[in-house]
Each structure stands twice: as C-alpha cells, then as structure tokens.
Structure 1
C-alpha cells in the first residue's frame, strides 16, 4: 500500500481527529460509504464527508483542494498527472483497495443469457444506443472505452440519472442492456442490493476464447472476468492526517474485511494468523 504525501503544510487534522471531504463516483458509493462510516465509529472525533460526483469531477475537486481524498478506477492521463505534479510538487501514488467490475443487466423477460465482449463493442458503435449507462461522464463509460479500445467520443449509448432509472428502462425495453458497477448488486445482506438482483438478470460475459464468465469475487481476483477493474484512492494530503489515516485503514485488515463483506474482492490478500499451542 502506498500513502501519497503532497507538499501542503496545513496540518489541521490527524488520523484520529478532523473534518475532510472524500469524493467518489456513484459506482463506488456503497463500499466507500461503509468504509468511511466504520472509520468514524472507530474514531468518533473524525468527520468524513462523502460527496458523490462523476469520476472526472472528483479529480477536479482534488486538484482544486475541494476534496482531500478521491476514489478512482481509471488510469490518469499524462496531462492529469502533470497537473497534479505541478499543483502538489509530487508524483501520484495510488492506494489500491478493491477489485470491482462492470456488470451487464437485462430484464428478466429478455431472451439473452450471456453477452460477448464483441457484442458489447458492436452495440456501442452501431448507433442504436441499446446500452444504458448512468451518465455520460461516469467511471463506467471511461472504463469501458479504454477496455474496448474505443475513443470516448465514439461511444454511442443511452444515459439515465441513476441505477434505479436503468432498471426501470430495461424492464420497459427487453432488448436494452444496462451497465452498472458490481457494488450496486454485490452486497449480500443489503435489502436494496437484494431487490436490485431480484429485479434483473445479470449476464455472464463471453471472452475471446468463448468462455462464458460470471462476475464474482473469485473471477475478479483471478482477472478472468473481462470487465474487472481496480479501485484506488488518491490524496493531496502532505502529512499523515485524516486522509492518509482513512486510506491506511481501508487498505489494512479492518478495511479489507469490509471490502469483502461488500461482495467485492479485497486488493490485499490478508493471511490468517495461526497460533500453535505447545
């Protein structure tokens, strides 16, 4: 785990006290919210404000100093890395904490039972806008463009305001495919996630070798699911304050257990401690 230290000298907080803002895309909201809520339970004198914005907007907030920590899934461009270095006089050190993925959902009435990588690419270029995302500036569209080698401006798709709207739309139009982040569906004991899972059909993805792969923590862990991505934190904090404290917590054993309970794959494999009695 890498903790990034920038050059700011404003030490107004510590890992146990303070008030900061963390920004995450809607696709990463659930896991980020649980992590920050648990951290504040451990450290009652801290306040972590979570704001939900599109991934590109989150990065702008970090560069402007409006956020202390952001969650990202895509690699930064050369220009973005340069802007960060010029602003904070240091290189970016991502702190990876979870493997997530994109899932493709259809109405239960749909005849589709799986979808291939080639079919997804074809639908994004055929002008019929049959794939539905949660906003044109979301982490999901950025990720899929890079994954399929398509220029973002060449993507052709529909957008709706939220995951809930996507579910409504695909149930009206069975030929449509919704594209959402796995964490919206992955929480095993969450009522909202359970209702989401029960209202749609999650399509396995057929890879280039003809293998049909369903998303799961295991297929994300071994990277056999074709649309696996890694979530990571970036901070502009120059010292070991609340931002870096939260990041360290998320990447250490307590945080990684939370990630696992969210149905995602922890980035760090935590070995079990075995005590041998003499």
Structure 2
C-alpha cells in the first residue's frame, strides 16, 4: 500500500513540474519582465524602437512586445480611445492633449531619445540649403516652387507638425505621399526636384531595402533663424539644438499598472538602453557614462 502511495505522489509531482515547465509566455501573468503586450510605434522612429525591443528580449526571454508601425494620428487616436495602451511618438504632449486622459489614467511619459527631421535630396542636386519658413509657405500654397516634397504617410508626425505650423488643413500640390521609406528613396533618385522629408532614424539605421538607394542621396542643411546660419543634422547639432528641427521621442504608457510597458520604458531609459540610442546615431536623453582606466 505504501508503495502505491509513493508512486502516485511522485507521478503527481512529475505532472505538476511538467505543467510548470511547459507554461507558455501567453499564459504568464504580465509584469515588467514577462507576458505579452502590443506597442504602437510612429513610423519615423520605428528602427530605434525595434533595436531596443530586440535587446530587451535578450534580457527578458519571457517578454514579448509586438511592435506595430503606424502614422501618428492613427496611433494617438488609439491611445486616446483606450484601444491600445502603449505607444512611442516623437512629440511633446500639450496640456490640452493630456486632458484627454483625465478621469481615466495618468499617462507615464518617458523620454528616451532626441531625433531630427531631415530634408534629403540627390547627391548631385544644386540646392543643398533649405529654410523651414520656405517649406511652410509651400505648404500654405503661398510660395511657388518647382520642388516636390515627399513624405512617409499623410498622417505622420512630420506632416502633422508642418500643417500645424502652416495653419492649414489642406496642402498644396507640391506634396506627395509614399507608403514606405523605400518608395521615398526610389522617388527621389528618379526625380531631381524631389525632396524627401523623413526622420533621421531611417537614414542612420537603414534597413536592407534602402541601403543601396540612400547612397545616392544627401541631407540638406537647414537654416537656424536665431543663429542666422545653416546646420547639418548630426548627433552634436541635435545635442546642442543648433539643428532647428529636433524632436523628443517619448514612450507613452497608459496601462495603469506595472506591466511590460513599465519594464520596456525603464530599460530604454537605463544605461543599457541609452547606449543603444547613442550607437544608433540618435541623441540619448542621458549620455551614458564612460569610465577611463589610466594605467601608470
């Protein structure tokens, strides 16, 4: 009888252990380092978030964050309407925008990097300088130009910013939209009067689809009104704000709990995450420390 008892007990323990060991990540209760979550990422900053997510996964094997690339307007509507609770956007929220969360949850907004809006053209183009005020006038339709401005998505953060600054709801005929950055690059290479408008993230971290195409392109220098001088986009001009079109990339978490959003944001803002940002060519919010050993 005792032998049967111990046999049943051991069998029960083995079954229990097997159940625990075969538990999938989808069955795990979500925490900062495990579970499943979906994060919407604005199109112009997708590459850097993809990089951070890949490294985050190597540290936390049970964490599965699905990234979805979306234009800013669509992304923000989802967050405001509570149909998605994690997002990454290259914008700073106004007090009026934050009011939309009132009575629901206080959003956790974590700045992780600074990037720049670039104007790109053919390498052999005669025009290498551009003034943002002139672009605004083209958007208004009050300035004639033979240039064609090409954007990634009609509802992207860059287009939204330009339309707000121009104070218009419709734009001139000098604007063209492409569904992918690959098509923007191809269009510029075929049209000498085309100027692409993209986030710097796509050029410093080009994917395989655009690596060859961007070799024939260059970024234009943008006029800084206060300094009366043109500046090229780079980590240093982003850092000291001499390049006039700098944006802050923020992780927005409205989960209302300590979930994967909290873990991802903490990781991205940590020394490890900021080193990924620095290596990518963007400007980290906190410059990682460098220790120098002096050997006597």
One fold, TM greater than 0.5? yes
Structure 2 match to 1:150:
166
Q: Shift of the alpha carbon at 1:182?
A: 0.3
Q: Distance in 1 between matches of 2:134 and 2:82?
A: 41
Structure 2 match to 1:26:
43
Q: Shift of the alpha carbon at 1:152?
A: 4.5
Q: Distance in 2 between matches of 1:268 and 1:193?
A: 30
SS at structure 1 position matched to 2:102: helix
Q: Distance in 1 between matches of 2:69 and 2:99?
A: 25
Change (3 A) 1:118 1:83: closer
Q: Distance in 1 between matches of 2:153 and 2:159?
A: 8
Superposition pairs of residues 171-186 of structure 1, within 5 angstroms? 171-186=189-204
Structure 2 match to 1:105:
120
Give the alignment's TM-score, normalised by structure 2: 0.80
Q: For 1:195, which of 212, 222, 228 is the aligned residue?
A: 212
Deviation sequence 1:169-210 (CA, Å, 0-9, x none)? 22232112110110000138x655643431212111122243
Q: Distance in 1 between matches of 2:70 and 2:153?
A: 11
Q: Shift of the alpha carbon at 1:78?
A: 4.7
Q: Shift of the alpha carbon at 1:226?
A: 0.9
Unmatched 5+ stretches in structure 2: 1-27
Superposition pairs of residues 181-260 of structure 1, within 5 angstroms? 181-187=199-205, 194-208=211-225, 209-260=227-278
Q: Is the 8 A contact 2:92 2:248 kept in 1?
A: no
Q: For 2:186, which of 163, 168, 171 is the aligned residue?
A: 168
Structure 1 match to 2:288:
270
Q: Shift of the alpha carbon at 1:274?
A: 6.0
Unmatched 5+ stretches in structure 1: 1-10
Give the alignment's TM-score, normalised by structure 1: 0.85
Rg (Cα) greater in structure? 2
